[in-house]
Amino acid sequence: MLSATLPSLSAGFVYPGDPGWDEARSAFNLTLDQHPAAITLPVTARDVAAAVRYARAAGWRVAPQSTAHNQGALGDLSDTLLLNVQGLQDVHVDPGALRVRVGAGVRWERVVGRLNAYGLAALHGSSPDVGVTGYSLGGGIGWLSRRYGMQANAVTAIELVTADGALVRCDHAHHADLFWALRGGGGNFGVVTALEFAVHPVDELYAGALFFPYERAADVLHAWTRMLPHLPDALMTWVTLGHFPPIPDVPAFARGRSFAIVQGAFLGAEGDGWELLRPLRELGPIRDTFANVPPIVLADLAMDPLDPLPFHLTHHLVDALPIEALLQRSDLSLMQFRHMGGALHRATADAGVRATLPGEICAMALGVVMDEDSGRAVRRSLDAFDAALQPYRAGDYPNFVEEPSDGSRYFAPEDWQRLRAIKRDYDPTDVFAGNIRIAPAS
Q: Are 353 and 184 in contact (CB under 8 A)?
A: yes
* Residue 238: strand, helix, or coil: strand
| Shortest distance (Å) from residue 68 CB to ligand FAD | 5
d(CA 263, CA 211): 9
Q: Within 195-262, where are the H helices?
A: 217-227
Q: Interhelix angle for 413-426 vs 176-185, to 10°? A: 120
Handedness of CA 287, 290, 294, 297 (dihedral sign): positive
Which of 111, 373 has the CB closer to ligand FAD? Answer: 111
399 binds ligand FAD (CB under 6 A): yes
Stretch that binds ligand FAD, among 62-70, 94-102, 347-355, 408-416 (CB under 6 A): 62-70
Which of 210, 433 has the CB closer to ligand FAD? Answer: 433
187 binds ligand FAD (CB under 6 A): yes
The one-letter amino acid code at 239 reads V
Which of 90, 324 has the CB closer to ligand FAD? Answer: 90
Q: Which run of H or E residues covers position 193?
A: strand 191-198
Of the residues 12, 36, 128, 142, which one makes contact with ligand FAD according to CB under 6 A: 142
| Shortest distance (Å) from residue 226 CB to ligand FAD | 24
d(CA 78, CA 37): 6
Which of 104, 389 has the CB closer to ligand FAD? Answer: 104
Q: Where do the DSSP E strands lie in 255-369?
A: 258-266, 287-288, 291-293, 311-318, 334-339, 361-368
Which of 67, 314 has the CB closer to ligand FAD? Answer: 67
Residue number, nearest CB to ligand FAD: 134
Tell me, what DSSP letter sits at residue 439? P
Size of the site for ligand FAD (CB under 6 A): 36
Stretch that binds ligand FAD, among 5-13, 135-143, 271-279, 339-347 (CB under 6 A): 135-143
Interactions with ligand FAD, residue window 196-255 (CB under 6 A): none
d(CA 236, CA 265): 5
- In DSSP terms, 365 is beta-bridged to 314, 335
Over the window 84 to 123, marking each residue x when it contacts ligand FAD by CB under 6 A and - when it does not, the resulting string is: -x------------------x-------------------
Of the residues 14, 24, 28, 280, which one makes contact with ligand FAD according to CB under 6 A: 28
d(CA 198, CA 196): 7
Interactions with ligand FAD, residue window 303-332 (CB under 6 A): 304
126 binds ligand FAD (CB under 6 A): yes
Burial (0-12, 13-18, 19+ Cβ within 10 Å), 267: buried
Of the residues 39, 137, 155, 194, which one makes contact with ligand FAD according to CB under 6 A: 137
Of the residues 9, 55, 61, 71, which one makes contact with ligand FAD according to CB under 6 A: 71
Q: Which residues contact 81 (CB under 8 A, 6 or more apart)?
A: 13, 36, 37, 38, 39, 40, 51, 54, 55, 58, 60, 61, 62, 63
The one-letter amino acid code at 210 reads L
Which of 73, 321 has the CB closer to ligand FAD? Answer: 73
Binding site for ligand FAD (CB under 6 A): 28, 64-71, 73-74, 85, 104, 125-127, 130-131, 133-135, 137-142, 186-187, 191-192, 304, 399-400, 434-435
